Structure 1
Amino acid sequence: MEQQASEFIIATRTALSQASALAVQYSFSIVGALLLLVVGWTVASLLSRWAHEGLLRVRGIDETLARFFANVIRYAALLLVFVTVLGQFGVQTASIIAALGAAGLAVGLALQGTLQNIAAGIMLLVLRPFRVGEYIDTGDISGTVREIGLFATELKTPDGLYRLAPNSTLWNVPITNFSRESTRRFELKVGIGYDDDIDLAQRLMRNLAENDRRVLKEPPVDTFVDELADSAVVLTLWYWTAAADFWPTSRDMIKSVKQAFDENGISIPFPQVTYNAHVPGLAQPTARAEREDA
């Protein structure tokens, strides 16, 4: 009985000794892990802040893009800290990294369309084919840009509607930016009658453009005969304005040209078509009969 009690005491002491050793060992691991977490969190935040401020100093880098890359750096640093902390407890980090890689691949395949929009958004923010406040047209999508995000771009259509366009639909098509250049050329085509005075019509069009203060002096105003159409002689007027004055100037110019032509007796003919009908069995009038009827 005494021998059993002695063995029990020895076993208890051994267990307590091993538990103390493990407690000491894991206490150091826990303290080290906490220190790594605190230091890693601080370093990740500092790296993110430095990256954000540094990217903003780079010309052409958008605020959204700078914030995105700063967050990527921060989360990458935190992931490295997390894997290091697990290594403190003897966890095989290689298997964890492999599992994270497999999970990332699965998520990437599941969110393929979303990732495509993110990639397109990064390219739009880097290359800047359009900026906030500019009017663009892709053929299917048009409007004034209100915000460029990583996933989609917000636009306002000319009739005041809100439109959200995925970035991939804007990146993979030609984009016409109506606001990027500071000046624009307006082209006005007007058809006049064949009996009207071409020189007078051209002079009227040129004077109207040159006397408009919104029309630029350089490049100079130009008018020319563009086409001898079926029902009219087509005249073309070219002039340049500031991009902001393009639409109001063009609307006023169209109205002024019409009024000037009316005041000077220059016609803008309707399309005319002459039909010659032949009815079988009906005698056609001869030239002599036509003269007698006249």
Structure 2
Amino acid sequence: MASQTPSPTADTTSGVDLSFVASILDWLEANIVHIIGAFAVLVIGLLIAGMLSRWAERTLAKHPRFDPTISGFLAKMVKYALWAVVLVTVLSQFGVETASILAALGGMALAVGLALQGTLSNVASGVMILVQRPFVVGEAISVDRFTATVQRIGLFTTELKQFDGLFVMVPNSELWNQPIINLHRHPTRRIELIVGIGYDDSMKQAREVLLALAEQDERALNDPEPQAFVASLDDSSVGVGLRVWCATSDYMQLQWDLTEAAKAKFDEVGLSIPFPQREVTMVPA
């Protein structure tokens, strides 16, 4: 039987195609400069991207209008953008046509943007809320049908706690696209109390009683000074009003106390608080 001579391009012991290995070595030898350059660009680019990302986060965190959440978000956006630049630069070292890659990535980004239009709207609204600060965590707001305290502001949703203790999660786009009333932004608020008295009672006496109640309470501010006035002439009563300025933290309790004190004082001095009534005249047939 004739003996078989091993092929010069194959290794009979390991089964490895020596021609394939040789082609890899030839490619490495021909592109060693590009490989070293690409590796250097990759390492240096990643280091610079990390440094710039951390610098951007520290810089934005020092600005009073930027929340830590938005600082971290923008810093990550800077890092990812620099990573994309580094990747394109590395590919260009090997002669890869990057224009087609960028066009494909742009098309993918457009498709994803259209698919996630609602989500991206919430993200954009979250960024605007964190930058413009119509409210911050801990403040009470009134928006749409919610009156609650802000618990957390995220990029997608805002978490609220209603005054009755219920948890509410609202998409940021719904908050940003509606008027927002911030109940705690200013240090002082005005209380307006309207009390009805009978038409036979003295309006002057009612105004004096209400002013005295405001002057006796230390929580009522003297600047602006309290005001008492005749507010309305209703069907069954005369509305007498009291306007008092106080600290925002005292608003609710002072309003309750003044309402209770007004009723007690009116009863004491003989001022009536009439209920709705009608006068019926009987006409003989």
Q: TM-score normalised to the size of structure 2?
A: 0.89
Aligned equivalent of 1:148: 153
Whether 1:238 and 2:243 are equivalent positions in the alignment is: yes
Aligned equivalent of 1:87: 92
Distance 1:120 1:54 in 2: 22
Residue by residue over 1:42-87, the C-alpha shift from the partner in whole angstroms, topping out at 9 and shown as x without a partner, is: 1111010011111122231111111111000000001111122222
Task: Give the total of aligned pairs.
Answer: 272
Residue by residue over 1:17-48, the C-alpha shift from the partner in whole angstroms, topping out at 9 and shown as x without a partner, is: 76543121344444433332222221111010
Superposed, 1:203-222 pairs within 5 Å as 203-222=208-227
- 2:194 pairs with one of 189, 205, 211: 189
Amino acid in the other structure paired with 1:74: K
Gaps of 5+ in 2: 10-17
* SS of structure 1 residue aligned to 2:217: coil
Amino acid in the other structure paired with 2:155: L
Residue by residue over 1:111-160, the C-alpha shift from the partner in whole angstroms, topping out at 9 and shown as x without a partner, is: 00011111111111111111111111112232111111111111110111
Moved more, 180-189 or 89-98: 89-98
Distance 1:191 1:269 in 2: 7
Superposed, 1:22-171 pairs within 5 Å as 22-171=27-176
Distance 1:203 1:103 in 2: 73
4+ aligned runs moved over 6 Å, structure 1: 13-17
* SS of structure 2 residue aligned to 1:216: coil
Gaps of 5+ in 1: 279-283, 286-294
Distance 2:241 2:189 in 1: 16
For the pair shown, the structure with the greater C-alpha radius of gyration is 1
Distance 2:184 2:206 in 1: 32
* SS of structure 1 residue aligned to 2:111: helix
* SS of structure 1 residue aligned to 2:260: helix
* SS of structure 1 residue aligned to 2:277: coil
Moved more, 149-158 or 239-248: 149-158
Amino acid in the other structure paired with 1:110: A
Identity, in percent, stands at 46
Distance 1:144 1:130 in 2: 10
Deviation at 1:235, TM superposition (A): 0.1
* SS of structure 1 residue aligned to 2:43: helix
Superposed, 1:257-268 pairs within 5 Å as 257-268=262-273
Amino acid in the other structure paired with 1:69: L
Distance 1:269 1:73 in 2: 68
Distance 1:191 1:118 in 2: 50
Aligned equivalent of 2:13: none
Q: TM-score normalised to the size of structure 1?
A: 0.86
